[in-house]
Amino acid sequence: MTEATNDTTSPVRPLRDALTFLLIVSATFGLQLLTLVTGIIMARLLGVEGRGVIALVLAVSVFAAQLSFGGCLPPAITKLLAERGANARDGLGHVFRRRGWLLLLPCLVAGGLMLVLLDDGAAGQRFEIAVIAVVVTLQTLFFSIIGGAMQGEGRLVRMAWVALTPQGLFTIALAVVAALDWGWSATDVLLAYIATGVLSVLVAMASLLPAERGDDVGAERRVPEASLWSEARGNYVSGVRPLDGLGLERILVGGLLGTTALGLFATGLAVSNLCRLVSNAVSVVVLPRVAAHQGDPAQQRAVVRRWFTISLVLVGGIVAVLELLVEPVIRLAFGEEFVGAVSVARWLIVADGLLALRRVLIAALQGQGRGGVASWVELALLPVLVVGIALSALRESLDGVGMSLAAVGLLSCLALGRAVFRAPSARHRGRATSCTQQRRW
């Protein structure tokens, strides 16, 4: 049973929610700090062009992973394991022994995309970088799926801290390279990323609960393969989160404006994504707390108002501070070569704040059993985002890309907020209550 699904009548539940929230926030802020450090070191080692190549490989890998199994399988795994009170090795081992090879398909797609998107500056290493993208995508998929399994086993805080492992090891590797003044290329950095990623996957697998032995491991603890795929299909759009879960904006910038522009854009992203870390932690608490009040829309909305207010205050403060500090941070940390990223970073900070609030609202809708509403909002705004970035690329305006993201974030918050606080129909409330009774465990 997860931390999020304990008895909601317990007097220690608010304290447990708060502690879980603080621990997850601490882990995610640590992850962001490590990401910022690696971004600075890579910028110093590689310059704008090399930094852009790294950003494109990572963006394509995330895109391929999230659009295939990385977005829909983890929440399905979490739900099905938690329902059965099973660990991942007993519940899903038989499925992945038979179907694990399917993970290679999106990895090959990622390699093909790299061959198409790399510009002339990286033409000499096109095939080599494409192969690296295949491996990085596979690592991304493994880590996402193991994370979903740990959440299903009820290990939310450990999941957050294990997520620090790959970035932590990568930061140490780059710091050693910088200290020794080795002249690494973008390919060398990517190979180091793969090496630290392999170690991190091993650490994550070791963090899963051990398989149970003996006759007490019955068939009811095993997740049927058909149930896994059915649940994954139902979670597809809300799990993928196409507006910001695919790295689509980075791929479009890299493909339409080139890796040099992407290097500046990636620098802006590196100093602008603190808000999403807060929203991720809030979402971990919001979804189960809202779901605990199925059949009581008024209480659900009270929970949402409380946590959304907390999110709004935190996000507003972070945005204000970052807007004041962004120029000196980029100038001092990344160097004069990256000062051109300041203006787009200001827009990206605003966009990140709005998209972070949107994640909290999506979690609330999922807790209400209305995740399909969030999916339709995502799908409706996706063309708006793509057109906005494409028009900005035609004008060669990175600032326009940031403005497009901010506009989509605002529209999403308005649409989702209206849906969250609108009373669901009586028919939906009855269906939600019935589902809650059936899934009580």
The three-point CA angle 300-303-309 to 5° equals: 135
Name the amino acid, one letter, at 142: F
Instruction: Write out 115-150 in H/E/C secondary structure.
Output: HHHCCHHHHHHHHHHHHHHHHHHHHHHHHHHHHHHH
Do residues 342 and 326 lie in contact, with contact meaning Cβ atoms separated by under 8 Å? yes
Give the dihedral sign, CA 159/163/168/170.
positive
- Please tell me the predicted confidence (pLDDT) of residue 7: 43
**Token match 């941070």: residue?**
329
Cα 15 to Cα 6: distance, rounded to the nearest angstrom: 12
- At 120, list the tokens: 């002339």
Half-sphere exposure of 348 (CA within 13 A, CB side): 23
430 Cβ neighbours under 8 A, 6+ residues apart:
none
The 3-state DSSP class for residue 356 equals: helix
- At 1, list the tokens: 């049973």
Compute the chain's Rg from CA coordinates.
22
How many CB atoms sit inside 10 A of residue 50's CB? Answer: 22
Cα 230 to Cα 67: distance, rounded to the nearest angstrom: 17
pTM equals 0.69
- Please tell me the predicted confidence (pLDDT) of residue 433: 44
- Please tell me the predicted confidence (pLDDT) of residue 17: 65
- Please tell me the predicted confidence (pLDDT) of residue 436: 40
- At 64, list the tokens: 């391929």
341 Cβ neighbours under 8 A, 6+ residues apart:
264, 265, 267, 268, 330, 334, 398
- Cα 424 to Cα 187, 370, 421: the distances in Å are 52, 9, 9
Cα 63 to Cα 150: distance, rounded to the nearest angstrom: 23
Read out DSSP for 295-338?
A: T-HHHHHHHHHHHHHHHHHHHHHHHHHHHHHHHHHHHHHT-GGG
Closest by Cα among 307, 282, 303 to 291: 303
The three-point CA angle 157-154-274 to 5° equals: 35
Instruction: Write out 57-89 in H/E/C secondary structure.
Output: HHHHHHHHHHHHHHCCHHHHHHHHHHHHCCCHH
- 5: which DSSP letter? G
Q: Along the 441 residues of the chain, how does pLDDT read in single tens digits?
A: 444 444 444 445 566 666 777 777 777 778 778 877 888 888 778 877 777 888 888 888 988 888 888 877 887 787 777 667 778 888 888 888 888 899 999 999 999 988 888 765 555 578 888 899 999 999 999 988 998 788 777 676 787 778 888 888 888 988 888 888 887 888 888 999 999 989 988 988 888 888 876 555 556 678 888 888 877 776 678 777 878 766 788 888 888 888 788 888 888 888 887 788 788 878 767 766 676 666 778 888 888 888 898 899 989 999 999 999 989 988 887 888 888 888 989 999 999 999 999 989 987 877 676 777 888 898 899 999 999 999 998 888 889 999 999 999 999 999 999 988 875 554 445 444 444 443 433
- Please tell me the predicted confidence (pLDDT) of residue 164: 83
The three-point CA angle 51-52-53 to 5° equals: 90
